[in-house]
Amino acid sequence: MALEKITQTSGRGVYVPGDDLDTDRVIPARFMKCITFDGLGEFAFFDARAAAKGEGKTHPLDDARFTGASILFSGSNFGCGSSREHAPQALYRFGIRAVIAESFAEIFFGNSITLGMPCAVMSGQDIRAVAQIIESAPEVLITLDLLEGKLSIADMDFPATLPAHAQEALVTGKWDAIADLLEGIEDVRTCAAKLPYMAA
């Protein structure tokens, strides 16, 4: 299965501030009543967007200035909570192609990489600096370069990194593990045969 080699992604940015933005925030559980992932994009940050509207404010994802943005910036421990792949699926289908945060919850991170959506870590200070640039110039093009481990915006570069295994998986086009796993089937059978509970 040949997959695209994801070495960089470019687009405009949107900043959704906050730490510990959990997967119920990314997509509330009640929207997971589905048997495909189609159409989940409209539910990305659904409650937060509705709440902002209710207060007469505009959530960044509804702000016309950021329409079409594909690189999402946030705080620490992004995607904590549930293992639902619906969360990265909703973001991807909303149009997000990379998430930048101070840190990521582990299951969300893995789910995102498997979709080919890089999750890169930047310092909080750098994220806030980028957020200011986006705020004053929403149209500015941002590039996340996975080979160089940097994020470029308006003539500036910031370190933006992924753990080596995830970086390699993306840049070599092996971000979906299924092909590798299938190649190991004979070894799987050998390993399973040694485990009494697998034989029973």
Partner 1 sequence: MSQTLLDKVWAAHAVRTLPNGSTQLLIGTHLIHEVTSPQAFGMLGDLGLKVLYPSRTFATVDHIVPTDERQEPFSDTLADAMIKALRKNCDDHGIKFFDLPSGQQGIVHIVGPEQGITQPGTTIACGDSHTSTHGAFGAIAFGIGTSQVRDVLATQTMAIRKPKVRRINVNGKLSPGVYAKDVILHIIRKLGVNGGLGYAYEYGGTTFDAFTQEERMTVCNMSIEGGARVGYVNPDNTTFEYLQGRNYAPKGADWDAAVARWKATASDPDAVYDDIVTYDAADIAPTVTWGINPGQAIFINENVPLASDVPEKDRATAEEAFIHMQLTAGKPIKGTKVQVAFLGSCTNGRLSDLQEVARYIKGRKVSSSVKAIVVPGSQSVASLAESMGLAEIYRNAGFEWRGAGCSMCLGMNPDKLVGDQLCASSSNRNFKGRQGSPTGRTVLMSPLMVAAAAITGEISDAREIFDIK
Calpha distance 37→192 (Å, rounded): 32
Q: Which of 9, 70, 74, 77 binds partner 1 (CB under 8 A)?
A: 77
Q: Tell me how far apart the 2 most distant CA atoms of the chain are, in Å.
A: 64
Q: Is 168 in the site for partner 1 (CB under 8 A)?
A: yes
Question: What residues between 118 and 157 interact with partner 1 by CB under 8 A?
Answer: none
Q: How far is the CB of 90 from partner 1 (least distance, A)?
A: 12
| Angle, helix 164-171 to helix 106-114, in steps of 10 degrees | 10
Nearest to 118 by CA among 168, 83, 189, 152: 168
Calpha distance 177→196 (Å, rounded): 27
Calpha distance 24→193 (Å, rounded): 40
Q: Is 6 in the site for partner 1 (CB under 8 A)?
A: no
Q: Which is nearer to partner 1, 36 or 136 (CB)?
A: 36
| Contact residues for partner 1, defined by CB under 8 A | 17-20, 22, 24-25, 28-30, 32-37, 47-48, 50-51, 76-77, 80-86, 88, 103, 105-107, 110-111, 114-115, 164-165, 168-169, 172, 174, 176-178, 180-182, 184-185, 187-188, 191-192, 194-198, 200
